[in-house]
Amino acid sequence: MADSDESARRVYLDYNATTPYADEVRARISHVMEHYWQNPSCSYAEGVRAKDIVEESRRDVADVIGCDDPSQIVFTSGGTEANNWVVQCLRLNELQAGRPVHIVSTNIEHPSVALPIQKLCKEVPTTVSCTLVSPDPETGAVRAGNVVAALTPHTRLVSVMLANNETGVVQPVAAISRAVCTWARESGVPPPAIHTDAAQAVGKIPVEVNELGVDFLTIAGHKFYGPRIGALFARHGSSLSLVPLLEGGGQERGLRSGTENTALIAGLGCACQLITRDSKQSSVQTMATTCTALRQELMNRLGTEGVSFNCWQPGADDECRRLPNTCSVAVTRLPLQFTARAILAKCRHVVAGVGSACHSDLDDSGCASSVDSVLTRSGVSSSAARCTLRLSTGRDTTLQDVTLAAEDIYRAVVELEHEAMATGNNS
């Protein structure tokens, strides 16, 4: 992402927040908007073709997550709706039946999972309870055994994200699913539904719903060069039934009423196709190569004592994997009176964040916070969390980009060090 003027060149390193539309996706959306704008529910030829496009895209989405039955894919407005929908199904299914409900989740989930669960527990405290499992502070990953230890005979939902948006740690969802099913079988109780928010994972690591063993899986198109809509995989026969939240025309097999946005659905399908067709994972390799180079460039400039990479263990096994594009780095060389925001404010080229774009300014109560709670809950010290940058590379990131970015961050830190010395506070 370069301008002709090197001094004005911006290096975007916030691909975990959002990605640009792929050229092919943009072209597909434009084509469908121009030629197939008719209502997919209409029976004339143009409407039928629009409906065909929706169903073709549904197959593309199913393919990217290894789902062999496209009817298990429901289109949504985005990842937030999909996550909320799963939690709301507990209210509509279990609570209306008068049964007690227990939920197991983690304390590092995206707000669109954490807040609906929190709200449900507050609204019906005598019936709904939740146990939040913490990740291992050494790895940032939740242990399957700790999830099983939190289960009760009333557990109806287990929700664990597939990859953390801030640390990049891939959670062992498949192992958790196996352990939960084994526990249910041995305990003689129905297995709880298992949900994973895979918004950050699709397009970066292989995602296979059957291998993961999940009943629900959340997809967000804008995380992998698609439009800002999403989809929910809902397995047929799950112990938790998907219940419609809206009444209307009965689209999406009666599960989500509202005229389908054919153009954006086509764009989502196209974005999924790009992932499926990249059999050699060249895009993932690009992200991994540039992210590795970025870590090395930062160490070269700031020194091995001047930076610390959160939840990162070189050569870690599969239980401690990370997204290939994510670099959560604490600039420990930074003077104590400054935070990571001060670094970014001094940068001329780097475009990045200090945490999740959805809640980097908020603490648990929705108030401004100087320390990122997801990081500290993942085992990162408060002092390291205060000076942490979340850098994430993309398909178009180059080695020249990461060199410029590392130099830019280095210059910003040096400027802040000089300011600290000038004020007599350089601790």
Distance in angstroms (rounded) separating the CA atoms of residues 402 and 297: 8
Distance in angstroms (rounded) separating the CA atoms of residues 70 and 68: 6
Q: Any idea which residue has 């084994």 for tokens?
A: 182
Beta bridge partners of 12: 351
Work out whether the CA dihedral 101, 105, 108, 111 comes out positive or negative: negative
Considering 67, 320, 327, 358, which one is annotated as catalytic?
A: 358
- In 106-233, which ranges are continuous DSSP H helix? 111-123, 144-150, 173-187, 209-212
Side chain identity, residue 90: L
Give Cβ neighbours of residue 26 (< 8 Å, ≥ 6 apart). 267
Edge-to-edge strands of the sheet including 388-392? 308-309, 326-330, 388-392
Give yes or no: 358 in active site: yes
155-159 and 101-106 beta bridge pairing? parallel
Beta bridge partners of 104: 131, 158
Contact 424, 415 (CB under 8 A): no
Contact 72, 320 (CB under 8 A): no
Contact 331, 340 (CB under 8 A): yes
Distance in angstroms (rounded) separating the CA atoms of residues 314 and 290: 16
Structure token pair of residue 57: 């895209």
- In 251-281, which ranges are continuous DSSP H helix? 262-277
Strand, coil or helix: 327: strand
Distance in angstroms (rounded) separating the CA atoms of residues 223 and 95: 34
Structure token pair of residue 90: 């507990």
Contact 334, 346 (CB under 8 A): no
Distance in angstroms (rounded) separating the CA atoms of residues 175 and 118: 25
Residue 316 backbone zone (phi > 0: left; psi -120 to 50: alpha; other: beta)? beta
Side chain identity, residue 205: I
Strand, coil or helix: 158: strand
Distance in angstroms (rounded) separating the CA atoms of residues 369 and 386: 10
Catalytic residues: 358
